[in-house]
Amino acid sequence: MILPVHVCLEELSLAEKESKWEKPAACPGCNSQRFWGHGYRRAHFVESAVGVWVKRYRCDSCSKVFTTRPSAYLERYQSSTKEIVNARADKLTNFKWPSSQTRQRAGQWLRRFICFVQSEYGLISDSTPFVERLKNLYALSCPFLSKLS
């Protein structure tokens, strides 16, 4: 279980385990306030050459372990949400992948994005040209994108 926290990745990488972690208000699983520190775990991000230590907590009520994560990074992504959004916008507006990203990585972001939009908003008619479908999907996802920034 991931708990996004407002923390700077650069500060985390410099401070290692000495970072001052603000204790979360409640367990994200059961909303209990009875939880304790449960060590650290290395998390890897594109911007840091080596992994950074992130704090873990264990809830006494539901026994779940949750890990903090910089809020600028979505769960299961090593790149920041800003990079992901910019790469997709480049592809959908300029029809090219951004030079700062590999085609494979940026393509995966776009495929996952399309899957998300289709699951949220349903399939768009196949008679629409592919680029128009992508643009429509992108426009439909504005509520999702606004949550990321």
**SS3 of 58, please?**
strand
Min CB(53)–Zn ion separation in Å: 22
Tell me the Cα Rg of the chain: 18
The least CB distance from residue 64 to Zn ion, in Å, is 5
* Per-residue binder mask for Zn ion (CB under 5 A), 35-64, x = binder: ------------------------x-xx--
- The amino acid present at 147, given as its one-letter code, is K
- Per CB under 5 A, 3 contacts Zn ion: no
Task: Mark residues 66-95: x for contact with Zn ion by CB under 5 A, - for none.
Answer: ------------------------------
Binds Zn ion by CB under 5 A, chosen from 3, 7, 12, 27: 27
**CA-closest candidate to residue 110, choices 120, 97, 99, 100:** 97
| Residue in this structure with the two tokens 């700077």, named with its chain if needed | 8
Tell me: does residue 106 bind Zn ion (CB under 5 A): no
Burial class (CB in 10 A: 0-12, 13-18, 19+), 70: buried
- Residue number, 46 or 62, with CB nearest to Zn ion: 62
Closest CA to 62 of 25, 34, 24: 34
1 binds Zn ion (CB under 5 A): no
**DSSP at 18:** G
Q: From the list 11, 32, 115, 144, which residue makes contact with Zn ion (rule: CB under 5 A)?
A: 32
User: 22 or 60, CB closer to Zn ion?
Assistant: 60
9 and 45 Cβ atoms separated by less than 8 Å: yes
Q: If binding is defined by CB under 5 A, does position 33 make contact with Zn ion?
A: no
Residues in contact with Zn ion by CB under 5 A are 27, 29-30, 32, 59, 61-62
